[in-house]
Amino acid sequence: MPELERTPLFDLHVSQGAKLVPFAGYEMPVQYAPGVMKEHLWTREHAGLFDVSHMGQVILRAKSGTVEDAAASLETLVPVSVLGLKEGRQRYALFTNEAGGILDDLMVARKDDHLLLVVNAACKAEDIAHLVANLSESCEITPITDRALVALQGPAAEAALAQLVPAVADMRFMDATDLDWNGVPLWITRSGYTGEDGFEISVPTDQVAAFADHLLAIETVAPIGLGARDSLRLEAGLCLYGNDIDTTTSPVEAALEWAIQKVRRTGGDRAGGFPGADRILRELDEGAARRRVGLLPQTRAPMRAGTEIFAGDTAVGTITSGAFGPSLEAPMSMGYVATEHSQTGTELTGDVRGKCLPVTVADLPFRPSTYKR
């Protein structure tokens, strides 16, 4: 078994009493002493600090020197409008394959002369290889190896971070800017993976422990592990790559068509031109055979990933993520069902250890998001 990597905050996790587990090739904190439930609720009520340094950060810079050329190059790999992204803004994107499946989901921020991509930890090597194989003639692809990444999430995130970096109070959801903390250059976006207002902050590796210590010294901030990160993102209706989306899932099946702007759709000025465009554009116009939906089990126990979903005696779908929702005070699941059974309120059943238990199709997200627009 390959040796697990450690993020620059490993010693901090140990000092905070974290329970460490393997995740995407790294030794990561799944929870701290308070436990998943309390960490989840703390983030919803105050501010949680997450180590997400295992994720990939990549700079994409056009060899021509213009950020527009970098954006145009990236549009050949993603179905979203990168050219329409203004400087200082960030957008959700998807790498797709020729079959219309999803290779990864990622964030793209436009800076003055380059694009900054943040990709999933489990996919970063493949994503970088994908970029190199397809864009190296037009772009310089630079993986960032000397910076860590942390996320500060929750209603108290702005007030906490503003104690160290006052200018963040002027940022809005999906803004991306470069600021500094005591001379340390920070790359900050107002975004996250919890459904809460918050920030993701790229920090030089040799400064991230000190930066995290200063945040944790603020009484509203606590360290949060992967366990609460998962329940938070599920309440927010957000996909986990490898569970809820993968190479067999199209953006339309995954209910992610909101991420595909009109300019890239049929009739748009830059329609198509990305891998899998034939299938994806067809499904945008005609619909897909299955849909990702929220599912609320009518029991106290969660229905976990892999649970088969039935309409009567007919199998119509499968759960891809399931957990207890601490904020909902109820179990919640997400998965795929045949489109004719995807309407909110549809009553279905899940096969849990041979028992058919009731589950209801529900709107996503399970609770309203609180982004600062």
What confidence tens digit (pLDDT) does each residue in 269-328 have? 999 999 999 999 999 999 999 999 999 999 988 999 999 999 999 999 999 999 999 999
Residue 36's pLDDT is what? 98
Share of the chain above pLDDT 90, in %: 98
Return the CATH class of domain 10-53+146-235: alpha beta
**pLDDT of residue 103 exceeding 70:** yes
* CATH number belonging to domain 290-367+369-373: 2.40.30.110
- H or E element that contains 41: helix 36-45
Q: Where in the chain are the domains?
A: 10-53+146-235, 290-367+369-373
What average pLDDT does the chain have? 97
Distances (CA, A) of 357 to 170, 297, 300, 307: 48, 8, 11, 11
Pairing outcome for strands 47-51 and 221-223:
parallel
Q: pLDDT per residue over 199-214, tens digit each?
A: 999 999 999 999 999 9
Estimate the crossing angle of helix 157-164 against helix 208-216, to 10 degrees: 120
Give dist(CA 97, CA 93) in Å, integer: 13
pLDDT per residue as tens digits for the range 111-162:
999 999 999 999 999 999 999 999 999 999 999 999 999 999 999 999 999 9
Q: How many residues does the chain have?
A: 373
In this model, does residue 227 exceed pLDDT 70? yes
Maximum distance among all Cα pairs of the chain, rounded to whole angstroms: 64
Asked if residues 221 and 298 have their Cβ atoms less than 8 Å apart, the reply is no
d(C-alpha 365, C-alpha 346), whole Å: 17
Per CATH, 10-53+146-235 and 290-367+369-373 having the same topology is answered no
| Secondary structure string (H, E, C) spanning 165-223 | CHHHHHCCCCEEEEEEECCEEEEEECCCCCCCCEEEEEEEHHHHHHHHHHHHCCCCEEE
For residue 202, the model assigns a pLDDT of 99
Q: Which of 107, 182, 114 is nearest to 151 (CA)?
A: 107
> DSSP letters along 260-301, please?
S-GGGSTTSTT---STTHHHHHHHHHH--SEEEEEEEESSSS
Q: Give Cβ neighbours of residue 21 (< 8 Å, ≥ 6 apart).
A: 27, 28, 29, 30, 226
Q: How far apart are CA 250 and CA 79, in angstroms?
A: 11
- Give the mean model confidence (pLDDT) for residues 245-265: 98
Answering whether pTM is above 0.85, one says yes
User: How sure is the predictor about 1, in pLDDT bands with cuts at 50, 70 and 90?
Assistant: low
Residues 45 and 114: beta-carbon distance below 8 Å: no
Q: Tokens for 342? A: 């995807």
Contact of 204 with 185, CB cutoff 8 Å: yes
Task: Kindly report, residue by residue over 43-84, the tens digit of the pLDDT.
Answer: 999 999 999 999 999 999 999 989 999 999 999 999 999 999
Q: What is the pLDDT of residue 207?
A: 98
pLDDT score of 2 more than 90? no
